[in-house]
Amino acid sequence: MDFLPKVKLEIVVSDNNLQNVIDAICQSANTGKIGDGKIFVTHVEQIIRIRTGESGDEAI
């Protein structure tokens, strides 16, 4: 059995950029072969930038 190398990306974007990011990933990662990957979209409850104390969209 041959194993394909894997890459995991974790990307947090604001809701208004979500579809653009999904489109960009699909266009660049699509080879049409097994192993192109999956995209999981989940809600991030809270974001805090430790260094500045910013939260929400300002912390992205």
| Residue 48, pLDDT score | 96
Structure tokens, 56:
């929400």
Q: Is 24 exposed, middle or buried (0-12, 13-18, 19+ CB in 10 A)?
A: exposed
Is residue 17 very low, low, confident or very high in pLDDT (cuts 50, 70, 90)?
very high
Cα distances from 55 to residues 9, 43, 48, 59, in angstroms, run 22, 15, 4, 5
The set of residues, in sequence order, having a beta carbon less than 8 Å from that of 49 and lying 6+ positions away, is: 55, 58, 59
Res 25: pLDDT? 96
pLDDT 10s digits, 29-38: 999 988 899 9
Q: How many residues does the chain have?
A: 60
Rounded to two decimals, the pTM is 0.77
